[in-house]
């Protein structure tokens, strides 16, 4: 794959910034799975590796002088060096710590660098802070849903007219999908807690409502919701047969359950054993 092709596949302009390349790759991985389309996945992987090589070559070239001949502002370099350990700490807490720890580190950074008040904060500091937050929310291996929510509330990335939508609409679409997935997981948790605390009869109306929720129109989000619901119900002792049976009927699991088996085969086996509607062998 040549240099021009790799950028086309990744959907970004040629860049020496590995963060932009990794962000584009991570975003496309969400919809390009090796088990679904091995050829497309290999093409994406080849583009990623070619882009990293091309970026390394770009960095070896002499730096481009700004139009006015000025060097990079010392204040920008100073702020980047000042922010970097805090950004890296929040990234680590997202990958290995708890949601509470990551959010506490975010709150600490907002206070330490006076970033809360739009009237008082340094615009350059806010810009660099946003760059770091965008890297955490889009590039690293894992991040907490609540941390992602906090970042989106701070910067309005998915709001109409936000700069990110014009510069990188694919990232905005990915962020929207992540929020839909997070909402779906929250809904499953609330439903299961309701069934546990008040009984399955109390949870049935909520299940009916969620089955028609517009957030589940997206197939990936719906499959995630269904799979997490199935796993959660399989962990009840005994499985609430009425609630589970209604889920089977609403989502058509008698005839369409491959995504459930692939998501968690052991949980699906346990679920089938506990639901009379599924014990016919279908």
Is the predicted pLDDT of residue 18 greater than 60, yes or no? yes
Long-range contacts, 208-216 (Cβ 8 Å, 24+): 208/246, 208/250, 211/250, 211/251, 213/187, 215/180, 215/183, 215/184, 216/184
DSSP string across the chain: --HHHHHHHHTS---S-HHHHHHHHHHHHTT--TTT-HHHHHHHHHHHHHHHHHHHHHHHSPPPPPTT-PPPPHHHHHHHHHHHHHHHHHHHHHHHS-HHHHHHHHHHHHHHTT-S-TTTS-HHHHHHHHHHHHHHHHTSS---HHHHHHHHHHH-TTSTT-HHHHH-HHHHHHHHHHHHHHHHHHHHHHHHHHHHHH-HHHHHHHHHHHHT-GGGGSHHHHHHHHHHHHHHHHTSSS--HHHHHHHHHHHTTTT--HHHHHH-HHHHHHHHHH-GGGTT--
Please check the confidence at residue 67 and state whether its pLDDT lies above 80: no
Whole-number pLDDT of residue 185: 93
pLDDT computed for residue 276 by the predictor: 82
When pLDDT is cut at 50, 70 and 90, the band that residue 92 belongs to is very high
d(CA 56, CA 53): 5
Res. 75 pLDDT band, cuts 50 70 90: confident
Single pTM value for the model:
0.67
Look at 32-36, 85-89, 90-94 and tell me which has the smallest mean pLDDT.
32-36
pLDDT range class, residue 110, cuts 50, 70, 90: very high
The mean pLDDT value for 161-166 works out to: 92
């Amino acid at each position: 794959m040549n240099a021009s092709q790799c950028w086309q596949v990744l959907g970004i302009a040629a860049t020496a910034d590995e963060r932009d390349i990794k962000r584009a790759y991570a975003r496309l991985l969400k919809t390009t799975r090796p088990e679904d389309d091995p050829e497309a996945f290999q093409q994406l992987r080849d583009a990623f590796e070619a882009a990293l090589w091309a970026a390394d070559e770009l960095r070896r070239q002499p730096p481009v002088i700004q139009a006015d001949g000025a060097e990079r502002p010392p204040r920008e370099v100073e702020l980047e060096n000042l922010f970097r350990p805090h950004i890296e700490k929040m990234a680590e807490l997202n990958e290995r710590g708890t949601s509470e720890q990551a959010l506490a580190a975010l709150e600490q950074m907002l206070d330490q660098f006076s970033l809360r008040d739009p009237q008082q904060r340094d615009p350059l500091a806010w810009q660099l802070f946003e760059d770091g937050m965008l890297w955490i929310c889009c590039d690293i291996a894992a991040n907490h849903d609540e941390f992602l929510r906090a970042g989106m509330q701070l910067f309005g990335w998915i709001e109409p007219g936000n700069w990110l939508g014009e510069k990188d609409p694919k990232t905005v679409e990915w962020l929207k999908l992540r929020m839909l997935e997070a909402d779906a997981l929250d809904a499953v948790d609330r439903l299961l807690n309701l069934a546990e605390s008040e009984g399955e009869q109390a949870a049935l109306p909520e299940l009916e409502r969620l089955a028609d929720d517009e957030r589940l129109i997206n197939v990936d989000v719906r499959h995630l919701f269904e799979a997490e619901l199935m796993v959660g119900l399989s962990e009840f002792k005994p499985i609430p047969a009425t609630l589970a049976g209604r889920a089977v009927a609403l989502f058509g699991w008698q005839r369409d359950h491959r995504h459930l088996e692939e998501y968690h085969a052991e949980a699906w086996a346990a679920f089938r054993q506990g639901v009379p509607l599924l014990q016919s062998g279908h």
